[in-house]
Amino acid sequence: MDSSDKVVAVIMVGGPTKGTRFRPLSFNTPKPLFPLAGQPMVHHPISACKRIPNLAQIYLVGFHEEREFALYVSSISNELKLPVRYLKEDKPHGSAGGLYYFRDIIMEDSPSHIFLLNCDVCCSFPLSSMLDAHIKYGGMGTMLVIKVSAEFANQFGELVADPDTHELLHYTEKPETFVSDLINCGVYIFTPDIFAAIEDVSINREGRANLRRLSSFEALQSATRTLPKDFVRLDQDILSPLAGKKKLYTYETNDFWEQIKTPGLSLRCSELYLAQFRHTSPHLLASGDGIKNATIVGDAYIHPSAKVHPSAKIGPNVSISANVRVGAGVRLISCIILDDVEIKENAVVINSIVGWKSSLGRWSRVQADGDYNAKLGITILGEGVAVEDELVVVNSIVLPHKILNVSVQDEIIL
């Protein structure tokens, strides 16, 4: 790549019609701004983009209200000394359609390459090495891929790639039968030719609609199956048809990867990012010896504004957000503690997420088995939940603004 060539990054952040599996944590906070390892979910791909050579701009594309992202976009632009801009879709356009909808803005800097990332992906984002590979391949696009166990592969887009050239030969989204243990990670790099490919899908779809001569009943049936011409999916509409045409290639990662579908997986991804901080941002990890500061075991993040008693023991895999108060003798293991939470003396939190402004009484226990994939594998307290003294909450989800005055297990408290 020429040193004068510019690169832009587009991060798809979705909108309020998505993310229902993330409730109750997404009731008042957009999923992309939910903190993992003390940083908003979207912060991790943005930080990775910062390391791309010749990066001119980062765009966040979605249909959340602009006011929900305004403060974050302003602060991250200032922190990274790099323009970050939120682009609000008028309606969902699909993963490729959203890119096309803002093509004129995205191409303002005349970039030679466009990164496209999904916000709800957790990985090490090897973007610079991916760019090098993409330039060497010489195709229109390169996608990040990873090998997973065969039993989980059909939950994602499965693909077949040439082992020597890395060309994408076949792609199918969530197949009913096993195709491959190689899956799509939701991280891509394209040349601007991607816009012509998306436009072709729209034109062909419109053309087929105009050619159709159907009875009114058939037209009604067809309408329920036909997508709008400006709704273009990257996987089914672009990747599948272009596979095997020497246009798309793959770059395999051997590092960690997860899709952040549920609150349980957010706790797992927080753990992965905390472990990554050891190499990328060690200054973000807490330390303490139990004398002047709390005892820290393994990887933990503690916001500078949090007040943690020196007799508390924190970690591993703990993230403590702003203005949290942790009392004497508290034990925290594998948990996310959100803003303005108070945890009183000798309380214990294990494999749980404690929502904003919640309070845990003295000698209380909030815990779970820690199965990130199970519906009640972690305990979740929504915003403003109060757990009274000496109560135990196990493998449960508690919706916002509840007061618990009895112990609960394996329950969803509505």
Q: What is the pLDDT of residue 218?
A: 45
Structural domains of the chain, count: 2
Q: What is the pLDDT of residue 18?
A: 52
Q: Does residue 115 share a domain with residue 204?
A: yes
Average pLDDT over residues 381-400: 96
Q: Does residue 244 share a domain with residue 114?
A: yes
At residue 57, φ and ψ (nearest 5 deg) are -165, 150
Adjacent-strand bridge partners of 301: 319
Residues, the chain, total? 414
* Interhelix angle 43-50/66-80, nearest 10 degrees: 30
**242: its two tokens:** 């272009």
Task: Write the pLDDT tens digit of every residue in 201-243.
Answer: 878 766 555 544 444 544 444 444 566 777 888 888 889 999 9
Q: What is the pLDDT of residue 46?
A: 95
Query: Omega into 111 within 30° of 0, i.e. cis?
Result: no
- The enclosing domain of 396 has a CATH number of 2.160.10.10
Q: Is residue 330 part of a domain?
A: yes
Q: What is the pLDDT of residue 220?
A: 44
Average pLDDT over residues 57-61: 95
Work out the percent of the chain whose per-residue pLDDT is above 70: 92
Q: What is the pLDDT of residue 208?
A: 56
Pick from 112-126, 216-230, 245-259, 298-312: least confident: 216-230
Q: Is residue 228 part of a domain?
A: yes
d(CA 113, CA 171): 23
d(CA 31, CA 294): 30
- Is the predicted pLDDT of residue 22 greater than 90, yes or no? no
Residue type, 37: A
Tell me the H-state helices in 239-353.
240-242, 263-280
Pick from 7-11, 82-86, 179-183, 339-343: least confident: 179-183
More confident residue, 26 or 337: 337
d(CA 333, CA 336): 9
At residue 238, φ and ψ (nearest 5 deg) are -115, -55
**41: its two tokens:** 């979910």
At residue 251, φ and ψ (nearest 5 deg) are -130, 115
Q: Does residue 294 share a domain with residue 249?
A: no
Task: Write the pLDDT tens digit of every residue in 269-295.
Answer: 999 999 999 998 999 999 988 788 999
- Name the 3-class secondary structure at 122: strand
Q: Is residue 269 part of a domain?
A: no
pLDDT band at residue 307 using 50, 70 and 90 as cut-offs: very high
Q: Does residue 340 share a domain with residue 208?
A: no
pLDDT band at residue 88 using 50, 70 and 90 as cut-offs: very high
Q: Which domain holds residue 350?
A: 285-413
- Is the predicted pLDDT of residue 364 greater than 60, yes or no? yes
Q: Is residue 274 part of a domain?
A: no
d(CA 249, CA 171): 11
Q: Does residue 289 share a domain with residue 253?
A: no
Q: Is residue 321 part of a domain?
A: yes
pLDDT band at residue 1 using 50, 70 and 90 as cut-offs: low
The mean predicted confidence, pLDDT, of the chain is 89
Q: Please give the C-alpha separations between residue 297 and each of 12, 290, 390, in angstroms, as whole numbers.
A: 35, 11, 25
The set of residues, in sequence order, having a beta carbon less than 8 Å from that of 66 and lying 6+ positions away, is: 86, 88
Q: What is the pLDDT of residue 213?
A: 45
| CA of residue 51 relative to chain centroid, distance | 19
pLDDT band at residue 3 using 50, 70 and 90 as cut-offs: low
Q: What is the pLDDT of residue 289?
A: 81
Q: What is the pLDDT of residue 227?
A: 66
Q: Does residue 233 share a domain with residue 162?
A: yes
Q: Does residue 76 share a domain with residue 215?
A: yes
Q: Is residue 277 part of a domain?
A: no
Q: Does residue 246 share a domain with residue 313?
A: no
Q: Is residue 29 part of a domain?
A: yes
Q: Does residue 384 share a domain with residue 257?
A: no
Q: What is the pLDDT of residue 309?
A: 96
8 A C-beta contact, residue 343 and residue 370: no
Q: Does residue 231 share a domain with residue 321?
A: no
Q: What is the pLDDT of residue 219?
A: 47
Average pLDDT over residues 3-31: 81
- The enclosing domain of 36 has a CATH number of 3.90.550.10
Q: Does residue 316 share a domain with residue 175?
A: no
Q: What is the pLDDT of residue 325?
A: 98
Q: Is residue 357 part of a domain?
A: yes
Q: What is the pLDDT of residue 383?
A: 95
Q: Does residue 301 share a domain with residue 218?
A: no
Task: Write the pLDDT tens digit of every residue in 145-184.
Answer: 999 988 888 888 889 999 999 999 999 888 777 888 899 9
Q: Which of 194, 228, 261 is the last residue of a domain?
A: 261
d(CA 373, CA 261): 9
